[in-house]
Amino acid sequence: MRVVASLRTGENRLTKRMASWDSAWARGLLPPIEDAAEHTKLWWAAAILMAAGGGWRGRRAAGAGIAGMAVAQLLSNGVAKQLVERRRPPKEWFPHQEVEERPDSSSFPSGHTAAAVAFTAAVAPTWPWAGAACAVPTVLVAIERVHDGAHYPSDVAAGAAIGLAAAALVRATPRLLIRQLS
């Protein structure tokens, strides 16, 4: 029980520290990232760019990314959020206005992070350069979710794990189907 209490205390401390992070860089970059990631717009735009300009590799990477993102959304928002009810971090920990715009749903897991990680992890094996390019906004989305008060760090970590699992499932599905049909 002490270990759990210690972990919770450490996570609360980290959340408060990230919330109080006040830099021009964070104020300028994180809100547009959050806006772009809302409703997965950022990832749809990346998929369109990849499909339009990347030839066969871009189309394959875009398809894998969209499929990974869809599976992650289903797992995080359709399953995990229904199973785990967790309150969002207290509003008084956050000195900025973004905390007023956070959702009312369960804090656990971060669906934004799950979608971002799934998209990036599904794209990377097909087109490593595009995966590396997607990794930058993926990390910023994860940071933004804690900084703006929508999630605790463990919610983001769980979202990342779900995203990785979703990407792995998408990558494995064609091989599994071929084995079943053989």
pLDDT surpasses 70 at 176: no
| Domain containing residue 141 | 2-181
- Could you give the CA distance from residue 124 to residue 46 in angstroms, rounded to a whole number? 13
Three-state SS string over 28-81 comes to HHHHHHHHHHHHHHHHHHHHHHHHHHCHHHHHHHHHHHHHHHHHHHHHHHHHHH
Residue type present at position 182:
S
- Quote the pTM value: 0.88
pLDDT at 93: 80
3-state secondary structure of 86: coil
Give the residue among 168, 179, 18 at the shortest CA–CA distance from 89: 18
- Could you give the CA distance from residue 160 to residue 162 in angstroms, rounded to a whole number? 5
- Could you give the CA distance from residue 130 to residue 59 in angstroms, rounded to a whole number? 12
Residue type present at position 12:
N
pLDDT surpasses 80 at 1: no
71's tokens? 């599976």
pLDDT at 97: 66
Residue type present at position 155:
D
User: What band does 42 get if pLDDT is binned at 50, 70 and 90?
Assistant: very high
Average pLDDT, the chain: 86
3-state helix, strand, coil split of the chain in percent (to 5) is 80, 0, 20
pLDDT surpasses 90 at 70: yes
Q: How many domains does the chain have?
A: 1
The CATH number for 84's domain is 1.20.144
Indicate the range of 7-16, 68-77, 97-106, 158-167 predicted with least confidence. 97-106
pLDDT tens-digit profile of 85-123?
888 888 888 776 666 677 778 889 999 999 999 999 999
- Could you give the CA distance from residue 116 to residue 38 in angstroms, rounded to a whole number? 11
Indicate the range of 13-17, 107-111, 113-117, 161-165 predicted with least confidence. 13-17
